[in-house]
Structures are given as structure tokens and as C-alpha cells.
Structure 1
Amino acid sequence: MSVPPSFWTACGHQHLNRNARGWLQPTPDYWRLWLHRPELALVPESCPAEKQLHQSLLNAPDRAVALAELDAIADEDARQNYQLFLRFRDEVESAGSLESAYMAWMHRGRIELPPLFIDLVVQAIACNVLRGVDDAWAWRAAELLFRRQRITVQNGRVLAGDSDTLDALQATGGLGEMGRLLMEAGAPLKAVDVKVLHADNAQHYFAQREGLGRYAFLLDLTHEIQNKLPHGLILNMVNARSGLKALSFVLARWVQHFLGVAVQIEPVQQVDDPAWRWHVGLDATATALLNDLYQGQTLDARRQQQLISLFTLRFADPQAMRTDVRGKPVYLGLAMDAQGLLKLKPQNLLINLPLAKAV
């Protein structure tokens, strides 16, 4: 099994070069791809000023654009879209790579670009992080870094499905495996045609082209949860090919790629650590849950059920850690919100780990 060149091309990874550090640098064709996106592509109603600007940017994607050229665009939405694109382009070019720009945005705290921009950047970086990896579970797990997931728990199975894809397929024909499970769980879906990723269909995962079929595979995150609070939570893995293991692999490579430190991440069967020193939530819900557990608070049944998994992260070289937590495990958490949605924040692993020195 191998990853075809046509895989995930909508993010533009095929138009990016790798610098000496292995980080991604844009080419003119990368910016041209953005100009062909629906947000910037010309429409019959485009005014002459917009057509002129669009063509000039296709000819020279890195050219400076005067304020007067933007002001001349008649449609306000189109004008704002160009302003956002040019800000995005200039910040990436100034940073020198997608990774450098991404780190700058995350450290800034307040992100002034649309989520779509950030998600497409993360997707391209994920392609770089998984360069040379041909495991379908790893690539499917990497989707969690840039696409919101809908979590369904039914008959002991925990399934992650792409939220936008499930919503788009909500009223279409073809009731597949996930559709049946979701409907049995009471989810408001009329019919869906999606598949749980497993050995029998893994080769088809890479064959899917852009469109709804691209994100129609589901990741099995199954485990059983037994409560053992305040710092105890037993997670008995029951799936031999767990998506949690694949996600752990992706996150470890993500940290290595950005921070240059080797870590090992594993889903844990039990956390019962009276010397719990550091934790990182991989999403907003998990952050709140881990904070409460760390402070010894009791979680009610509803909040306990939101927790999808815990992980331990260990540094290969303890000297890379802050002295006050050196050698201690870092606990990670993954959780869905009250609506059953998961939006993983991969930046949390880059800005919240206890590093000996800032990166």
C-alpha cells in the first residue's frame, strides 16, 4: 500500500518545497491554487477591478497589491476575501515556511485568519509529518488535526466520523455501517454511506478523491471506561487495531517535526498517579476535564462519558524537559463536547509541553 500523489491535493502540499529543516515553503503555484478556491475564484458577477486583480495575481502570485486595487472591487465580500488572502500570503512569506507561520499564529494567541486557512495549513503540514508513511490508520487519524469529528458511542464502540461529511450526507441515500449505528444511537441522520476503516477496505482509503468520499471513512477509537477517580481512570483497549494508537503515532511525529524532541505517546489503561505534575488537553473539553481531575474534583457521569481517551507522553531525553518535572510523564486527554463533537487542537502540544527551553 502506498500514498498516491493525488491524495489530499486540495491543501496544496504538491506545490510546496521542503527547506533544509524539512519545513514547507510555498511556490507560486501554491498561491495560484488558493486563487482558484471558491472564496477567490471569479464568478460571472465579478467586476472588472476584481478580474484585473485576479489575473495579475495569477501572473505574479507574490506581487504587492495596492490598497486602491482592493478598494476598487465592488463586492464587499470579495474585497474582504482578497484582504484575508493577502494577509495570509504575506505572513507565510515573511515567516519563511508554513510551520514557522503556524507557530507564530499559535503563539500570538489571537488568530485573525479564518479557520479554513489554518485547517488547510495544518493539513499540508500533516502531509509533511507523515511523509514516507503508508499506513491508512495514521492518515485517517491525522484528519483529527484539521477536521472536526462527530463521536458516536454505540454498543461499546467509539467511532469518529467527519462532522462535515456526515452532515452533508444526512439526507442522501445509501445507508452504510456508520449510518446504521448512528441511527440506532438516535442521531438525526436519514441515511449515510460511510465505512469504518479496517483491513478489508484500507487500500480503498487512499483511492478516494476530493469530495464527500474523501472523508467518509470512520476511525474506531473503541475502549471501555471504568471510573477510578480522582486520578484514576481505567481504559481497557478492546480493539486490536485502535485508532488511538494511530493518533498517538501522529501526535508524536507532530511534536518531533515542530519541536525537534522525540517523545513516545501511548493510550493508557490506567492513570493513578499521586505525583501527577503536568497535563495537556488536546481540545477545549479535555483541558477542562483534566484541570478538574488534577484539582481532585469529582466528575459527574455525563462529563466522564465525554472523555474519549487519556494518553501518557514521555520524552526520550528527560534533559529536554523543565527541571521541576524532569522524568515525569505528561498526561494528555481527548474529549468530545456536550454535542458529541471533537475539535482537536494540535497546537496545544506545541505551546504547552514542559520544555527545558522555548522553541
Structure 2
Amino acid sequence: MSAPTATSADRRRWAQYLADERAEANVYRRLAASKEGEMRAILEQLAAAEGRHEAHWLTLLGGEPKRMPRASLRTRMLGWMAGRLGTIFVLALAQQAEARSPYDGERYATPAMRADEKVHHEVVRGLAARGRRRLSGTFRAAVFGANDGLVSNLALVLGIGATGVAPQLVLFSGIAGLLAGALSMAAGEFVSVRSQREMLDATDPGSTYGDTALPDLDIDSNELALVYRARGIPEEAAIERARKAIAEAHAGRAPVHTGPIDTHEVVGGAWRAAGSSFLFFASGAVIPVLPWLFGLTGVPAVVTALVLVGLALLGTGATVGLLSGASPLKRALRQLAIGYGAAAVTYLLGLAFGVTLA
């Protein structure tokens, strides 16, 4: 549809699209500048695609508008973060932005532009997934450790405090809960990750099943095809792959089929996970204790602890939502509700078994 048939409202909307496309292209260019290799090339191509969309709106507008609107707040935030925060955070937010294409109901957008936006979402999801895999093991331990520390120690100090005991006992109970919980979390995380890695070692295709014996195998009837079939490869494809591997071995070239699948990247390291779990549990568990540590008692201490822990729960929940590509606000509120719910139960139990707050 040609530009002369458009209304002033259409032209304002086009100008907004133009501003947003320029800002999004700038985000991808800034991210690409800090990368190398394939990721850089992909980000540059995303920027180029946004440039094509920009050109479409410029054509409809008949050139640069006299008054260019500001890009959307979300896009401006992405641009600010692109030069200051890690790529994974920016890509996680970009994934959410790309999921909400503005062109689905826009009659002046071309079908190719609508298709581009949907494909961009999958491309950004794939790029963000690389960073998530690198973070997943240690990050999982860190987030769970911090949240467990926040919730468990808040519940502990509120439950103890509600019985009416001396403030010193509440403080000592909180410190004891911090140390015991941090050590328990670290030990449990170490065992969990180490066990998972050992299971993967026993499950992943290995590189020691007999590469040196490949030249001696019968190319027409050999056991190598069974190896591939055991991994789930169909029979004909397994036979063909085995023939190629044996031919490579006869030619004196190293086979390319024996490298283990790197699933350990997702699991992470046991020592790193244990250390992160200990440190983050302790950092979370100390927050509910701070009011008593600084001399507050009774209701003021409880209210302060609730406020501090609430802010921390909102922060960790929002971070999880951001990195998972979900709504940070929803995840933050969910974390807050869970933490406060657990604390409320133990507080009521403390009241039932004790007296009132001093």
C-alpha cells in the first residue's frame, strides 16, 4: 500500500517503527563488537536485517521524518545494557522483545518482515542458550543457594523469635542456621554434580573403544556399525558411517566419530557448584540476621528482616526470569510469595509454641 493513502496516525506509527528498528540494530552491532567468529557474524546479520526493515519505513515515510520519536524504553534499555552488561543478560531481554512482534497486525509491514521477526526470536533464543548452558551448573547452585539461605534463615529467625526468647538466642540461631545450611548445601551440591558427571561419563559415547583396531575391521561386516546403532542411529546410516570411519582409518587419517558429546558443559563443575552454593547460601542467610546483628529486637527486627529479604527475593527472582527468557516481574513475585509463605508458617508455629514478641 502506498504512502499517500496513509493517515497521519499511520505516519507516526511508521516513524516509531523506524526509531525502534534503528535502536535494535544498534543493540546487535554493539553486541557484535565485543564478539568474534560465528556469534559476531550472526549478530551483524541480525543488525543488517533490522536495517532492511528500517529502509522499508523510510521509503513509506518518503525520507527522514522531521520529528523522530524516541525508541521504546525497552529498546533504549537494551542499548544501554549492551555496552555495560554481559551478553547473556542482553540476549535474554532481546529474546523477550523479539517474541512480541509489532508487525503481526500491521498492514503496511511486508510478509517477509513478519517472518523475519519470528525467525529473529529463534536466532536470539539460540544465541542466549549458549550462554545459559555455560552458566547453568554454577548459576543454578548460586541461585538456589541464595534463595534457600534467604527463605530458610528468615523462617528460622522468625520462628525462634516468635516464641519470645531473648534476642541473643535469635541471633545465635540465625548464625548457626547460616553455617549449617551453607555447609549442607555445598556438600549436597558437590555430591549431586559429581554423581551426575559420573553418570554422563558412563553414558556418553567414549573415545577409547578401539580406534587403533579400526584398520583391522572387515569393511563389509564389522562391529563398528553396532556402536552407532546402539547410539540410536538407524541401521543404514550406521553402516554407511562405519564404512567411512574404517576407510579413514585405512587411509591413515584419524577417525572423526569418537569424540565424547560435551554434556558436561550443562552440568558444570562439582567444586565450582559446591563453592557457589556455600557462598550464595551464606550471603542469602545472613540477610535475615542483620537486624538482630545490629541490635534491633522485637517487631522492628522482624519488619526489617522481612523488608530486606523481600527485596533480595525480588532480585533473585527477577534474575532467574531474565536469564530464562521469562517475565522478570512474574518470577520476582513468585519468589517473594514462596519466601514469605514459608516464613509465615514458621512464625505462626512459633507463636503457637511460645509467647509474644519481646
TM-score in terms of structure 2 length: 0.24
Structure of larger gyration radius:
2
| Structure that is richer in strand per residue | 1
- Give the TM-score normalised by structure 1: 0.24
Q: Which has the higher contact order (CA 8 A, sep 6+)?
A: 2
Q: Which has the higher helix share?
A: 2
